[in-house]
Amino acid sequence: MAQMNKRIDSLVAELRERSVFRTTVAYCVVAWMLLQVADVTFDRLPIPESSMTVLIALVIIGLPITVILAWAYEFTLRGIIRHEDAAEGASRLAFVPFILLVVSVTVAVGVGLYQLSLKFWDPEPLAIAVLPFTNQSDSQDDEYFSDGLTEEIQTLIVRIGEFRVVSLSSTYQLKSTELDYATIARRLDVDIILHGSVRRAADQIRITARLIDGDDGTEIWSEKFDSLLANVFDIQESIARQVAGALDIAMPESADRRLAQLGTRSVEAYDLYLRGLDYLRKPKDAETLQGAKDYIRQAIAIDPQFARAHAAMCESHLALYELSRDSAEFEDGERACNRALTRDNAASNVLAALGRLYYSAGQYEQSIQEYSRALAVDSKNVDAHIGLGKTLIDLDRAAEAEASLQQAIALDPSYWASFNEMGHFLYSQGRFADAAEYFLDFARRSEDNATAYNNVGAAYYLAGNLSAAAAAWEQSLRIKPTRSAYSNTGTMYFYLGDYGAAADRFIKASTYAPRDHRLWGNLADAYYYTDGMRLVAIAIYKQAIEFAEERIQVNPLDIETVAIVAYFYARIGDADKARQMSANAQTGAPDDMYVQYYTALASAQLGDIDSALVRLERAIDLNYKKDLLRLDPGLGALSDTERFKQLVAKDRR
């Protein structure tokens, strides 16, 4: 021990003699001053965003180099010479061991600081919600303008890249709320609220903006802008910049460039675009989506380079395609999305729209590529995380999908869509009770949302809680009749043997989606078991086949639809086609429980009892509910077999 203390004292004495301590302190002071100056100036200079990171790395690397040089050399009147020559003595500590000591200490300190930074030095960005600006114009018809302006200002704040910005889907639910700001902030889980008002008269505009502290509802900043309508773009940019300034956010050069990319300078095109967005915010039916297309088309005619208008046109076509399954809408959407990307290939929302386009077409790898590009531009793009998660689900990459959806929830805990998609993911994994909980979270974050309760009902239904399912579906229909609610209640009536009531619900559902092959097939099933309606059922199956094959042509990877078509062909008596489609489905998605179920139905219809039983057993292994199989009239040919009774009787999970 005494020998060790003696060595330490010797090392400290030699470090003093070689001025290592003085040099290290001087280096740290100068480095600190340099970093302070860089922190103030770099954000305002036209240099890459990574410059500050590079400088910090150089400072860290320079420290051990400086210590080593201080040990080995001295500054004298004769210049820089080795310490031994200056001291005219021999080294009392070998040079190589000293270098190893310095490197070891540097690595240990570096690793320690890195681990600490993961826990303490990576603060969460400020969370901000942009509430819908109040329309104070004389005409209520100008509501679209104040809502559109809100969306544009929110987009600009997102482009700054320094905040966690709550989605407009969450904030628009509070448009007419009487809650105070502090309560709203708690509900949306945000630190800051931006609110204001808009008044437009002829070619004049007045915009008032207020920044509110979410903790106590006090005002942090406010400003009133009176100007010509033609200056609305400058006002929007000014609001975004002043919000950042009021919150002491120094915007990097890249944020300046993003804020400058406003899309158009035509007031007329901008106004038409906002009118189109207003239609896109409404419940999506064919009429409202057509209205959105009409306005956006006029905006593009005025300014063909308006990238966000092309992106909105893409969304309109895609929404119409998802509603109607009309392949023409898909093709028009593809063209619109590519036009948008040609005009602004670095816009996160455009890249996400393209990802959604490829997802709809079943081009999953390209979809992942575009969603990843969108997240590279804006890592806080919640919709891109959701879209990526949905795509990964379809690629059977469940762990990655769940992580992406959880990231979306973490980025914006108030956004109902994240909980909805997580519910769908768990539903697809057969975790129906867990899915119901996420769908309930969706319902809590989206007041009076018929879809939310419809999803709750579907999850409870497959979890075996039929009373809870019925209550949720009835609540959905009370709020708003929808395709899904009518379809689901129709399915319940079908399994209960009330085929007339089931057909009535399926007919009502089909009015919302006249080209949905599933609804036509469900209607055909109901008529198939209704006395005197067998020929009508066959005709409806043929129509369902036409719509389903149109869907497969657009997305050949929709294997579940392939399996459904196999079942339809079996119903109309085309055994060869039914067996061919069943084989294709089994090859394409052997681990999909719905593929197994529908191909089992096809086999049962064709009298292939053993094949049907094998596929049913596989469907049960994949979490298809036995309770539903017991009630399914399509499996009547199997019901008297001992193997079927064993399959539906015992718990195989």
The pLDDT of residue 120 is: 47
Identify the CA nearest to 593 among candidates 566, 625, 639, 553. Answer: 625
Q: Kindly state the percentage of the chain with pLDDT values over 70.
A: 81
The pLDDT of residue 93 is: 45
555-649 is a CATH 1.10.10 domain: no
Position 402 pLDDT exceeds 90: yes
Most confident of the ranges 189-203, 343-357, 438-452, 572-586: 572-586
pLDDT, one tens digit per residue, over 610-625 is 999 999 999 998 888 8
168 in Cβ contact with 231 (< 8 Å)? no
Output the DSSP codes for 42-80: GGGSSS-TTHHHHHHHHHHHHHHHHHHHHHHEEEETTEE
494, with CB counted inside 10 A (0-12, 13-18, 19+), is: buried
Which tokens go with 514? 């006249």
* Max Cα-Cα span within the chain: 116
Residues 6+ apart with CB under 8 A from 315: 280, 353
The span from the CA of 488 to the CA of 502, in Å, is: 9
The pLDDT of residue 506 is: 94
For the stretch 120-147, what's the b/e string if a residue is b when 16 or more beta carbons lie within 10 angstroms of its beta carbon? eeeeeebbbbbbbbbbebeeeebbbbbb
């300078």: which residue's tokens? 265
The span from the CA of 625 to the CA of 15, in Å, is: 76
Average pLDDT over residues 292-301: 94
The pLDDT of residue 19 is: 65
- Of 129-143, 595-609, 625-639, minimum mean pLDDT range: 129-143
DSSP state of 634: G
268-478 is a CATH 3.30.70.270 domain: no
Average pLDDT over residues 315-336: 83
The pLDDT of residue 527 is: 95
The span from the CA of 402 to the CA of 418, in Å, is: 11
pLDDT, one tens digit per residue, over 577-606 is 999 999 999 999 999 999 999 999 999 999
- 314 or 82, higher pLDDT: 314
Position 208 pLDDT exceeds 50: yes
The pLDDT of residue 1 is: 58
544 in Cβ contact with 568 (< 8 Å)? yes
Delimit the CATH 3.40.50.10610 region(s) of the chain. 127-260
DSSP state of 379: T
Identify any residues that bridge with 4 across adjacent strands, giving them in sequence order.
none
Position 541 pLDDT exceeds 70: yes
The pLDDT of residue 521 is: 95
Residues 6+ apart with CB under 8 A from 393: 401, 424, 425, 428
Residues 6+ apart with CB under 8 A from 95: 71, 72
Mean pLDDT of all residues belonging to the chain: 81
Q: Kindly state the percentage of the chain with pLDDT values over 90.
A: 27
- 150 or 582, higher pLDDT: 582
The pLDDT of residue 547 is: 95
The pLDDT of residue 255 is: 53
Domain 127-260: top CATH class: alpha beta
Delimit the CATH 1.25.40.10 region(s) of the chain. 268-478
Most confident of the ranges 286-295, 442-451, 483-492: 286-295
The span from the CA of 369 to the CA of 392, in Å, is: 11
The span from the CA of 465 to the CA of 347, in Å, is: 45
